[in-house]
Amino acid sequence: MQIHQVEHFVAAADHGSVRNGAAALGLTQQALSRSIAALERELGLKLFDRLGHGVALSSAGRAFLGSARRIVRDARIETSPDSGLLDIATWSTLAIHPTAPLVGLLHRENPTMRSRIEQAPDEESVCRLVREGHCDVGTVLLPSLWLHDLTATALGHLREWLILPPGTRIDPGPVAWSTVAEHHLVVPAGGTPISFVGQELAGAGAELKLGVRSAHREAQVSLVLAGAGAALVTERYAEMARARGAVIRELDLRLARQIGIVHRRDRRSPLVDRFTELAVAHLPPR
């Protein structure tokens, strides 16, 4: 198995077709097809299902992709430590902030670099993408239940807001857990937030009142406006809710969740280190 064959496989997987993968690598479609076919013969696996409009990863291909990315990444670190390629895993809460601004800072420093941002449904998936080698680095909220063997760097805090249905009567000013506990909550399906909120409420001598558990994080605001319960959201969603008539209150600063950068403990590229350095410089822990 040659490194270039693995790189060809990753290119076809990322671009959704042999033609687009070949164009990205500056190869002919026939050359890339032959390279991938040779890799499949050597592995004894069918990595792609051929479709009329392109290719789709087979089950074996999906299982191999993380290892393939790690092979290509380690080879680049070995031969070209300053290779300008960074794969980042994030999820909806942290995609806009801090991930997007940090990627922008890194690109301004390295105009020729390339980055790929993979959107995960929750923090567990972010950690899995990093652990399995699909991505170099991820952004999560701490504490996280899924770090295990990953290294985490603590950054600043993410302020959260309690949003409530229109007309809800509530005292002004920042709210404590005792206030949160008075309301049935609309929460994301899975992920750290449920466990974190439940633990904090328990520590305050209260219980989590679950109203709606939704796999669609974007629906939280609509569910609150419809009277299904209250929700804890970031400032972006709080402002959206306020504009549509919801009552919002900022959580006490002491309740803010800490942002974290995670990566594997084994070899990593200088870009991972620089991404982390920029994160610490612009979001210092406090």
- CATH code of 103's domain: 3.40.190.10
Distances in whole angstroms, Cα of residue 139 to Cα of each of 79, 86, 98: 27, 13, 8
Higher pLDDT, 57 or 53: 57
Peptide bond into 285 cis (omega under 30): no
Q: What's the CA gap between 279 and 271, in Å, rounded?
A: 12
Task: Answer yes or no: do 167 and 241 share one domain.
Answer: yes
* Tens-digit pLDDT profile for residues 97-127: 899 999 999 999 988 888 889 888 888 889 9
Give the total number of structural domains in the chain: 3
Same domain (yes/no): 151, 210: no
Of 54, 79, 104, which residue is a domain's last? 79
Query: Over the chain, what is the mean pLDDT?
Result: 85
- Which distant-in-sequence residues (6+ apart) come within 8 Å of 11 by Cβ? 21, 22, 24, 25, 32
Q: Do the beta carbons of residue 98 and residue 283 sit within 8 Å? A: yes
Nearest-10 crossing angle of helices 100-109, 270-282: 120
Please tell me whether residues 135 and 263 are part of one structural domain. yes
Look at residue 267 in the predicted model and tell me its pLDDT: 65
The pLDDT value given to residue 191:
53
Domain range enclosing 15: 3-79
pTM of structure: 0.68
Which of 44, 61, 79 lies at the terminal end of a domain, its last residue? 79
In this structure, the answer to whether residues 55 and 34 fall within a common structural domain is yes
Instruction: With CA atoms as reference, report the closest residue to 7 among 87, 101, 75.
Output: 75
Q: What CATH number is associated with residue 54?
A: 1.10.10.10
pLDDT of residue 225: 96
Alpha helix (H) residue ranges in 98-210: 100-109, 123-131, 177-180, 192-203
pLDDT at 286: 65
| From 62-76, 188-202, 231-245, the region with the lowest mean pLDDT | 188-202
Residues 164 and 242 in one domain: yes
Does pLDDT of 194 surpass 70? no
The model's pLDDT over 147-160, given as tens digits with 9 standing for 90+, comes to 888 999 999 888 88
Which of residues 59, 79, 99 is at a domain's end? 79
How far is Cα 212 from Cα 217, in angstroms, rounded to an integer?
A: 11
Give the pLDDT score at 115. 87
d(CA 195, CA 24): 43
Whether the pLDDT of residue 57 is over 70: the answer is yes
**According to the model, what pLDDT value does residue 260 have?**
93
> In b/e form, how buried is each residue of 104-141, taking b as 16+ CB within 10 angstroms?
ebbeeebeebebeebebebbbbbbbbbbebbbbbbbbb
Give tens-digit pLDDT for 159-184: 889 999 999 999 999 998 888 889 99
Does 222 have pLDDT greater than 60?
A: yes
